[in-house]
Amino acid sequence: MRLKRNIRSTVRPSLVYGYAGDEVKVISVHGDVLIVEGNRGNRYSVLCSDVTGNEAEIIFEAVPDTTAVFSNKRAVSKKAPAINQNTLF
């Protein structure tokens, strides 16, 4: 798949992610938005209308890495035991 137009950053318009005619690989599809990887290895989002090809060509060209293990647990330090204080009043 190729880009139809230059893809610029919305925050910093001077930064160009991809130029028109660059070859890109589809990483993931989220509705009308594609996450693509450019020929320099950078990943960015584009609209389906900004790439060449039709809906049948929009498939996952890159296989995600499934060897990574993610966990929601964070390392938590143990809390010090509460001090039993007797009040004077």
Q: What is the predicted pLDDT for the residue at 83?
A: 75
- State the chain's mean pLDDT as an integer: 77
Q: Which residues of 58-81 are buried (b: 16+ CB within 10 A; e: fewer)?
A: eeeeeeeeeeeeeeeeeeeeeeee
* Residue type (1 letter), 2: R
Between residues 84 and 29, which one has the greater pLDDT?
29
Q: What is the predicted pLDDT for the residue at 12?
A: 92
Q: Is the pTM of this model over 0.75?
A: no
